């Protein structure tokens, strides 16, 4: 998540606000102006939104600090127009712990609402003080501010209870399923239900009087549900596996002087997805880098002017320029050993952007591991 501004740190956790966040404020201001609000009304409205997001930060801290009990740190908390996201460095694997971490977010809103309720009760004012009965429009002022704050916090609790994984309710559901089923199965069920809820939200968002944010939330849930399922599936398949389990011991190496005119046989006579690029010297062969089959294929297409419209103008990946292997290959070389843990290596492949890695044992090249092979390994082992 780039394009965000750091606001500071709370309990050692960096707090960011995404650049789209002010769009939320602008939307409400625009909406308020349309409804004929004056400057004072708009100020109350903006102040209210900021107060809600302060509650959202506290909610995310509820997750982060309870994860800390279990020794899990939080990477950061980011405020988006659709709410807050606390990125935990990992998720508790024990179902009960996941349930506790998921519940502690909404519990913060329960506590805020309960505090307000006690205040209303002590000062013997109605919970809905200053809110007209047909309150279709959000008009905030000094007399109803706390009532709206109460209602919104209760609303946040209810909304978070919907079992739309990866929202809190969905995480509780996955935890409960995890008590009986394997983690992958629990995540699969929760993520399917999450996507069904997301479709439901998307449909609801088109009903009159709904804000566009429900649609954004729906899209967010839909994609993160799929993504989280994939990452749990990968995590489980790679757990306790080493490079040796997934590496290829028979592999083809492409000489660095190869160009697009004579690279075709390498692609057509093998099924390999990742190749090492080598240079022959008088002392032997030197490893110069790696290249993937999709990259070669794209470069050939581009060279022959066969890219389609999408590849030519829209896809970033297709901007493969060059004719010779040394221009096309990835020149970063990261040597692996067969006993390295596979999850760590896979993460490195993505973080460092090195899709093909040579495997060396006792100073000898014994295999190749590429990104696609790991993906295939995940498919076969989950
Ligand atoms: Zn939450």
DSSP 101-163: HHHHHHHHHHHHHHHHHHHHHHTT--TTTT--SS--S----TTTHHHHHHHHHHHHHHHHHS-
Using CA atoms, how far apart are residues 91 and 194, in angstroms rounded to an integer? 18
Q: Do 221 and 248 belong to one domain?
A: no
Q: Which domain holds residue 50?
A: 4-238
Q: Do 328 and 221 belong to one domain?
A: no
Q: Are 245 and 203 in contact (CB under 8 A)?
A: no
Q: Do 250 and 335 belong to one domain?
A: yes
* 99 CA distance to ligand 1 middle (Å): 11
* 122 CA distance to ligand 1 middle (Å): 30
* 104 CA distance to ligand 1 middle (Å): 8
* 62 CA distance to ligand 1 middle (Å): 8
Helix 21-34, helix 39-69: angle, nearest 10: 150
Average pLDDT of adjacent 10-residue blocks, the chain of 382 residues? 82 91 88 86 92 93 94 92 87 90 96 95 82 67 87 93 92 94 93 95 88 87 92 90 92 88 86 89 85 88 74 60 82 91 91 91 91 91 80
Q: Are 286 and 278 in contact (CB under 8 A)?
A: yes
* 60 CA distance to ligand 1 middle (Å): 6
The pTM of the full predicted model, rounded to 2 decimals, is 0.78
Cα 275 from chain centroid (whole Å): 30
Among 207, 238, 269, the domain-final residue is 238
Among 220, 238, 256, the domain-final residue is 238
Of the CA atoms within 13 Å of residue 238, those in its CB half-sphere come to 23
Tell me the per-residue pLDDT of 20-62, one tens digit each, with 9 for 90 and over.
888 888 988 998 888 888 889 899 999 999 999 999 999 999 9
Q: Do 229 and 329 belong to one domain?
A: no
User: Torsion over CA of 175, 180, 181 and 183, rounded to 10 degrees?
Assistant: 30
* 64 CA distance to ligand 1 middle (Å): 10
Query: Which distant-in-sequence residues (6+ apart) come within 8 Å of 17 by Cβ?
Result: 4, 5, 7, 78, 79
Our count of domains for the chain comes to 2
* 84 CA distance to ligand 1 middle (Å): 8
Record the tokens describing residue 234, joined without a space: 């990968």
Q: Do 181 and 208 belong to one domain?
A: yes
Q: Are 256 and 288 in contact (CB under 8 A)?
A: yes
* 348 CA distance to ligand 1 middle (Å): 29
* 100 CA distance to ligand 1 middle (Å): 11
Bond prior to 166 in cis (omega within 30° of 0): yes
Specify the pairing of strand 364-370 against strand 253-255. Answer: unpaired
Q: Are 173 and 190 in contact (CB under 8 A)?
A: yes
* 137 CA distance to ligand 1 middle (Å): 26
Among 208, 238, 268, the domain-final residue is 238
Q: Bridge-partner residues for 357, per DSSP?
A: 369
Q: Do 128 and 205 belong to one domain?
A: yes
Q: Do 186 and 328 belong to one domain?
A: no
Give one DSSP letter per residue of 169-188, joined into a string.
HHHHHHHHHHTTS-HHHHHH
The pLDDT assigned to 92 comes to: 85
* 327 CA distance to ligand 1 middle (Å): 47
Q: Do 199 and 283 belong to one domain?
A: no
Q: Bridge-partner residues for 255, per DSSP?
A: 278
Q: Do 186 and 294 belong to one domain?
A: no
In degrees, to the nearest 5, what angle opens at C-alpha 341 toward C-alphas 339 and 347?
Answer: 140
* CATH value at residue 368: 3.10.580.10
* 59 CA distance to ligand 1 middle (Å): 6
Tell me the per-residue pLDDT of 324-367, one tens digit each, with 9 for 90 and over.
888 888 888 899 999 999 999 998 998 888 999 999 999 889 99
Mapping DSSP to helix (H, G, I), strand (E, B) and coil, where does residue 283 land?
coil
* 283 CA distance to ligand 1 middle (Å): 60
- State percent of the chain over pLDDT 70: 93
Q: Do 198 and 250 belong to one domain?
A: no
Q: Do 183 and 274 belong to one domain?
A: no
The pLDDT assigned to 1 comes to: 52
Q: Do 152 and 190 belong to one domain?
A: yes
């Amino acid at each position: 998540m780039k394009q965000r501004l750091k606001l500071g740190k709370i309990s050692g956790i960096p707090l960011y606000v995404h650049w789209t966040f002010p769009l939320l404020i602008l939307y409400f201001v625009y909406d308020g102006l349309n409804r004929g609000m004056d400057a004072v009304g708009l100020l109350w409205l903006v102040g209210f939104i900021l107060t809600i997001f302060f509650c959202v930060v506290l909610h995310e801290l509820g997750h982060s600090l309870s994860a800390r009990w279990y020794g899990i740190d939080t990477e950061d908390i980011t405020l988006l127009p659709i709410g807050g996201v606390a990125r935990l460095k990992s998720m508790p694997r024990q179902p009960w712990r996941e349930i506790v971490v998921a519940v502690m977010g909404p519990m913060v809103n329960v506590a805020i609402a309960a505090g307000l309720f006690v205040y209303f009760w002590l000062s013997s004012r109605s919970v809905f003080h200053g809110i007209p009965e047909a309150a279709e429009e959000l008009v905030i002022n000094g007399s109803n501010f706390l009532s709206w704050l109460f209602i919104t916090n209760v609303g946040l609790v209810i909304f978070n209870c919907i079992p739309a994984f990866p929202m809190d309710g969905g995480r509780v559901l996955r935890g409960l399923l995890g008590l009986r089923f394997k983690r992958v199965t629990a995540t699969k069920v929760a993520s399917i239900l999450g996507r069904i809820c997301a479709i439901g939200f998307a449909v609801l968002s088109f009903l009159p009087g709904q804000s566009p944010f429900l649609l954004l939330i729906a899209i967010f849930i839909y994609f993160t549900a799929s993504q989280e399922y994939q990452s749990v599936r990968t995590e489980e398949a790679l757990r306790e596996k080493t490079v040796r389990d997934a590496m290829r011991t028979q592999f083809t190496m492409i000489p660095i002087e190869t160009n697009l005119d004579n690279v075709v046989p390498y692609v057509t006579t093998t099924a390999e997805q990742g190749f090492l690029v080598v240079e022959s010297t008088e002392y032997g062969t030197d490893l110069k880098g790696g290249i993937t089959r999709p990259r070669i294929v794209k470069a050939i297409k581009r060279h022959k002017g066969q890219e389609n419209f999408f590849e030519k103008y829209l896809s970033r990946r297709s901007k493969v320029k060059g004719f010779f292997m040394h221009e096309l290959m990835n020149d970063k070389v990261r040597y692996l050993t067969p006993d390295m843990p596979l999850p760590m290596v896979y993460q490195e492949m993505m973080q460092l952007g090195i899709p093909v890695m040579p495997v060396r044992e006792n100073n000898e090249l014994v295999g190749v591991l590429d990104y696609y092979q790991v993906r295939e390994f995940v498919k076969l082992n989950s």
